[in-house]
């Protein structure tokens, strides 16, 4: 699976409002990572030993009831409406739940456990970056920051679409 470094900058009206939004934005991105992990663990065919025929998981039922109950806030903020009857493996979520947060496997995690290398506050700007799937779409994250967290504007770019050489002026 290809990955790329994504960068997002969001501007708040002032440094005070950006600082107030920071813990809420962190929690949102951690909740996104939890939703991504849950999606990966409950979609389609589980990994099976070589030679054995895979048995499909009842993904459509899980994504009709349980997933929206557990992750409804994230889905709503990202503007995602699930259609498990048409897409039982929920491929529609590909690229939509790619948070910069990497959760440790096998344990519940909280915002307090994470270092801040993936998110920084710089005056009225919150800068978010991380290695995610190279076809991820961070427009829903940018929109959520504006619509739900008070940012005035938010934009993102992937290092696959940027030539860092353009930043060097000679």
d(CA 33, CA 101): 6
In a domain? residue 40: yes
Q: Give the pLDDT confidence score for residue 106 in this predicted structure.
A: 47
Interval 95-104: pLDDT, tens: 999 999 877 6
Closest Cα partner for 116 from 100, 134, 131, 132?
A: 100
In a domain? residue 167: no
Spell out the per-residue pLDDT of the chain, length 170, in tens. 589 999 999 999 999 999 999 999 999 999 999 999 888 888 765 555 667 666 655 566 788 889 999 999 999 999 999 888 888 778 889 899 999 987 765 455 554 555 667 899 999 999 999 999 889 999 999 999 999 999 999 999 998 877 777 777 77
Q: Domain total for the chain?
A: 1
In a domain? residue 158: yes
Closest Cα partner for 161 from 137, 125, 142?
A: 137
Q: Give the pLDDT confidence score for residue 59 in this predicted structure.
A: 67
Query: Where does the chain have alpha helices with state H?
Result: 15-42, 59-64, 66-78, 139-149
d(CA 88, CA 82): 10
pTM above 0.75, yes or no: yes
Burial of 110 by CB count in 10 Å (0-12 exposed, 13-18 middle, 19+ buried)? exposed
In a domain? residue 105: yes
Burial of 139 by CB count in 10 Å (0-12 exposed, 13-18 middle, 19+ buried)? middle
Q: Give the pLDDT confidence score for residue 108 in this predicted structure.
A: 56
Instruction: Point out which residues pair with 11 in neighbouring strands.
Output: 125, 153
Q: Give the pLDDT confidence score for residue 54 in this predicted structure.
A: 60
- Domain range enclosing 88: 3-162
Q: Give the pLDDT confidence score for residue 146 in this predicted structure.
A: 98
């Amino acid at each position: 699976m290809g990955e790329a470094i994504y960068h997002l900058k969001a501007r708040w009206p002032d440094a005070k409002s950006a600082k107030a939004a920071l813990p809420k934005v962190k929690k949102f991105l951690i909740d996104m990572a939890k939703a991504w992990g849950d999606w990966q663990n409950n979609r389609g065919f589980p990994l099976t030993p070589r030679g054995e025929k895979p048995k499909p998981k009842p993904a459509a039922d899980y994504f009709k009831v349980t997933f929206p109950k557990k992750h409804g806030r994230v889905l709503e903020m990202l503007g995602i409406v699930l259609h498990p009857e048409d897409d039982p493996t929920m491929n529609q979520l590909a690229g939509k739940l790619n948070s910069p947060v990497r959760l440790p496997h096998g344990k519940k995690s909280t915002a307090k456990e994470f270092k801040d290398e993936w998110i920084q506050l710089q005056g009225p700007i919150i800068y978010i970056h991380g290695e995610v799937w190279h076809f991820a779409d961070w427009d829903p994250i940018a929109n959520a920051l504006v619509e739900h967290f008070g940012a005035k504007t938010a934009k993102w770019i992937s290092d696959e679409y940027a030539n860092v050489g353009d930043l060097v002026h000679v």
